[in-house]
Amino acid sequence: MIAVIGAGPAGLSAAVTAAKHGESVILIDSSSRLGGQYWRHLPRAWNDENKYHYNFQKAQELFNEVLENSLITWYSNAHVWQGEKRDKTFHLFVIRNGVEEVVLAEKVILATGAYDRALPFLGWTNPGVMTPGGAQSMLKSHGVVVGNRVVIAGTGPFLLPVAAGLIDAGAKVVGLFEANKPWRWILNLHGLLLNPAKIGEAIYYFGKLRRAQVKLEYGKRVESAEAGFVTVDGNRIACDAVAVGWGFVPDLSLAGIFGAKLKVAKDGTTVVDVDTHQETSVEGLFAAGESTGIGGSSLSIIEGRIAASGKGKFARFRAQVFARGLQRVYPVSDAWQSLVKPETILCRCEEVSLDDVISAVEDLGAEDARTAKLFTRAGMGLCQGRMCARNVGEIVACHLSLEVTDSERINYSQRPLAGPISLGELGDGIGKEF
C-alpha cells in the first residue's frame, strides 16, 4: 500500500499515477475537498474565463480518476499529526473526526504543500490585514470577498491571480504594489523561453488589471495599516482590506518528523532534500510538490508523477528552471526589517514585539532564533513558529551583523508535531488500524 499525504496537485498526480501502475493507494488530506490550495474550491468556480487561474481540465481529470479508480481510497478530513518508520513499514497517526487512527504503508509520498510567507509591519495584526492566500481562500472556499476596496502588496506572481479573483468577484483593487522592479524578469528569460505558456498567463493577468484600471506600482511596500487605511511609500490609501504576501514557506513538518534530510535553497527557504526520483534520505519516503521547493502547480503535478513512477524528468527540469528564475525575479531583501518598529508584533500567537526580541539579544545575550524564543516565547504559540520563526531568526542575525546559518534555518523549520492533538484524543488511543 502507498500512502499519499496531501490531495493538492502533487498528491493527486502521485495517487493517480500509482493507481495506474496497479498500486493500492490511500490518499489522506486534512481538508473535506480534493484539490489542495489551488483546486479545493472547484467545481463551483469553473468557467472558461478563469481558465488561467485554475487549469480546470487537469483538475477535473485528476478528480475523476481519484473518485472512479477502485485502487484509490480517498481519506478526507484526516490530519496526519505524527509518523514513524518501524522496520520497513510506515505508521501514520491520523486524527479523523476526533479519533486517532493508524495507517500502515510500505511507501509514503509527502505532498503537504506550502503556506503564505508573512512579514511583520506596523498594524499587520489588525482586522482587515491578511495574506493574499487568506484573501483568496475566503473567496474560493467560502465565496467571501474580503472588502469592497482592497490593496494587494508584497512580491511574487501569486499577487496577480489574487487580484484577478477579487476583480472577478466585484471588488475594486485600489492598488497592487509589487516590491520588486519588472526589469528583473531579464533574470528569468531562459525560464520563459523553456515555458512559453507562462507568457500567455502574464498577458491574461495584466490585461485583466488594465481593464479593471488597477493602479500597478513597482518598488513599493506597505509601511503600516490602520482601520480603513494603508500607508504605502508615505501615501495613505483608503481601503477596507489589505492582502500582503512574500511568497510561500514549504510545509516540512512531516518530513522533519520522519527524519528526512532538509536543505536550504539559495533564497534561504528550507525544503525537503530529494533525489532525482523524488525520494528523501529515508528509504521509501518520497516528497513532491511545494514541500520540495516553491514552483507552482504544474511543477507539483510533474513531481507527483515522478514520485509515483519515476517518469517525467525533462518536464521537471523545464519547470524547475522557471521556478528558480522566479527566486531571482522576486527576492525578499532584508529591507522589510527597516519597516518594523519597536512596538511591531513579530509573533502574533504569543504577542512578542520587536522590542522584546531586541532586549533578549542586548540584555540577555540571545544570539539566534532558538535562544530568542526561550527568552521571549516567540514561536511557542499555536502555530509553533510557522509564521514568525524565520523572521525572528533573520532579525536577530541582522541585529548582530551575522548571517543566519543553514543549520539554524533547518532547526527552526522542524516541529515535533504536524498538527495539534488534544490530550483527550491522545488518551483515547488508536480507534482503528488499516
Ligand X SMILES: Cc1cc2nc3c(=O)[nH]c(=O)nc-3n(C[C@H](O)[C@H](O)[C@H](O)COP(=O)(O)OP(=O)(O)OC[C@H]3O[C@@H](n4cnc5c(N)ncnc54)[C@H](O)[C@@H]3O)c2cc1C
Q: Which is nearer to ligand X, 136 or 180 (CB)?
A: 136
- Which listed range, 63-71, 289-297, 305-313, 360-368, lies at the site for ligand X (CB under 6 A)? 289-297
Phi and psi of 307, rounded to 5°? -60, -30
| Rounded CA separation 153/170 (Å) | 19
| Among 7, 109, 24, 108, residue whose Cα is nearest residue 71 | 24
- Map residues 153-172 to x or -, x wherever contact with ligand X holds by CB under 6 A: -----x--x-----------
| Rounded CA separation 380/196 (Å) | 44
CB of 370 to ligand X, least distance (A): 24
* Site for ligand X contains 296 (CB under 6 A): yes
| Rounded CA separation 63/427 (Å) | 36
- Give 36's Cβ-side CA count (13 Å radius): 29
Q: Which residues pair with 130 in a beta bridge?
A: 243
- From residue 207, give the alpha-carbon distance in Å to each of 53, 186, 201, 226, 386: 14, 21, 10, 31, 35
Q: Which is nearer to ligand X, 175 or 256 (CB)?
A: 256
| Rounded CA separation 278/126 (Å) | 40
* Site for ligand X contains 188 (CB under 6 A): no
Asked if residues 204 and 49 have their Cβ atoms less than 8 Å apart, the reply is: no
Q: Which is nearer to ligand X, 80 or 166 (CB)?
A: 80
* Site for ligand X contains 83 (CB under 6 A): no
Residue 176 cell numbers, joined: 497592487
Asked if residues 75 and 408 have their Cβ atoms less than 8 Å apart, the reply is: no
Which of 27, 90, 93, 116 is the binder for ligand X (CB under 6 A)? 116
- Give 431's Cβ-side CA count (13 Å radius): 12
CB of 368 to ligand X, least distance (A): 27
* Site for ligand X contains 73 (CB under 6 A): no
* Site for ligand X contains 245 (CB under 6 A): no
| Rounded CA separation 373/259 (Å) | 23
CB of 372 to ligand X, least distance (A): 27
Neighbours of 289 (CB within 10 A): 36
Interface size with ligand X, residues (CB under 6 A)? 38
Which of 113, 128, 156, 325 is the binder for ligand X (CB under 6 A)? 113
| Rounded CA separation 415/11 (Å) | 22
- Span 373-392, contacts to ligand X by CB under 6 A: none
Which of 120, 123, 128, 133 is the binder for ligand X (CB under 6 A)? 133
Counting DSSP H helices and E strands in the chain, the numbers are: 16, 23
* Site for ligand X contains 270 (CB under 6 A): no
* Site for ligand X contains 111 (CB under 6 A): yes
Q: Which is nearer to ligand X, 37 or 391 (CB)?
A: 37
Asked if residues 242 and 222 have their Cβ atoms less than 8 Å apart, the reply is: yes
* Site for ligand X contains 53 (CB under 6 A): yes
CB of 157 to ligand X, least distance (A): 8
* Site for ligand X contains 418 (CB under 6 A): yes
| Rounded CA separation 10/291 (Å) | 10
CB of 232 to ligand X, least distance (A): 23
- Span 12-51, contacts to ligand X by CB under 6 A: 28-31, 36-38
Which of 66, 72, 239, 254 is the binder for ligand X (CB under 6 A)? 254
* Site for ligand X contains 130 (CB under 6 A): no
Per CB under 6 A, residues contacting ligand X are 5-11, 28-31, 36-38, 53, 79-80, 111-116, 133, 136-137, 158, 161, 248, 251, 254, 289-290, 296-297, 300, 418-419
